[in-house]
Amino acid sequence: MSEKSVTACLIIIGNEILSGRTKDKNLAYLATFLNEECGVQLRETRVIPDIEKTIIDSVNECREKFDYVFTTGGIGPTHDDITAGSIAKAFGVTWELHPEAHELLKEYYGPRGVNSEQARMAHTPKGAELVANPISKAPGFRMENVYVLAGIPVVMQAMLESLKHQIVGGKPVRTRAVTLNMPESHIAGALRDLQDLYEGIDIGSYPFYNKGRGGAAVVLRSTDEALLDKVAQEVFETAIELGGEPEFGDTS
């Protein structure tokens, strides 16, 4: 991998993910979107509970370490939605009514008005810039390099779409894969030699069990497409020599 990668960290906030009740769908989507649309590489993800101190500490640690931080979850109207207030504390600013967000909610709720719990969704850390929510209006927000998004996948995805031009990375990482019909340990020595030879490529080997037989997907990742094609061909030919019946593509 290039040293110049633009990096991101995702912080998934929610007891429901940690309890096993809800299976996260945002990590894989965000990782793919950031790479393909923005050339940004997801380098770490944390799943943390709805506990203020944990949110503050995690956000403050990660915003120093990574170019971009995204959080998902905890920005709804209920008592357990404490993300926005915690982020305000992380940045040492007040959590206050954001007039523009308030207008959006007043328009959304119409003549019924905005009750005090709904109004929580119009509060942001002082100085936050809103992130549009085309689905259900209650916005996310940005504080410096921290983007605070909804946890519901369809809303998170719409927010990301509205952000993509302001998230600036480098070249997207591309992949090539060769699937082998033999245990990865048979080709492990050759893969190590290839990794030593080609530093610009990240070579991963991912074993699988398929219909009772062991196999492996060898996945090559790099921003250099010509190099990827060359090394994928070498993996393929090596696998033929070793009797691995390779196929191009990730068919694991």
Which range touches a copy of itself (CB under 8 A), out of 10-18, 125-133, 140-148, 222-230? Answer: 10-18
The verdict on 168 binding a copy of itself (CB under 8 A) reads no
Site for a copy of itself in 130-149 (CB under 8 A): 136
Site for a copy of itself in 95-114 (CB under 8 A): none
Site string for a copy of itself, 28-67 (x = CB under 8 A): xxxxx--x------xxxxxxxxx---x-------------
- Residue closer to a copy of itself (CB basis): 35 or 124: 35
> Could you tell me which of 209, 219, 215, 220 has the C-alpha nearest to residue 186?
215
Q: Which of 37, 132, 206, 224 binds a copy of itself (CB under 8 A)?
A: 206
Q: Is 201 helix (H, G, I), strand (E, B) or coil?
A: coil
Q: Is 45 helix (H, G, I), strand (E, B) or coil?
A: strand
The verdict on 162 binding a copy of itself (CB under 8 A) reads no
Pairing of strands 6-13, 129-131: unpaired
- Residue closer to a copy of itself (CB basis): 118 or 145: 118
> Largest alpha-carbon pair distance within the chain?
73
**Distances from the Cα of 61 to the Cα of 54, 56, 86, 148, 151, angstroms:** 11, 9, 14, 16, 21
The verdict on 159 binding a copy of itself (CB under 8 A) reads no
Question: How many residues of this chain interact with a copy of itself, rule: CB under 8 A?
Answer: 61
Q: Which of 5, 37, 60, 77 binds a copy of itself (CB under 8 A)?
A: 77
Question: Residue 217: beta bridge partners?
Answer: 179, 206
Count of alpha carbons within 13 angstroms of residue 24, beta-carbon side:
23
For 6, the token pair is 């633009």
Question: Cα–Cα distance between 84 and 153 in angstroms, integer?
Answer: 18
- Residue closer to a copy of itself (CB basis): 136 or 162: 136
Q: Which of 6, 13, 17, 178 binds a copy of itself (CB under 8 A)?
A: 17
The verdict on 172 binding a copy of itself (CB under 8 A) reads no
Question: C-beta of 201: minimal distance to a copy of itself in Å?
Answer: 12
**Distances from the Cα of 238 to the Cα of 71, 187, 251, angstroms:** 43, 8, 18
Cα Rg of the chain (Å, integer):
22
Question: Cα–Cα distance between 215 and 122 in angstroms, integer?
Answer: 52
Enumerate binding residues for a copy of itself (CB under 8 A).
15-24, 27-32, 35, 42-50, 54, 76-80, 115-118, 120, 136, 152, 154, 173, 175, 184-185, 188-189, 191-192, 195, 202-209, 214, 219, 221, 250
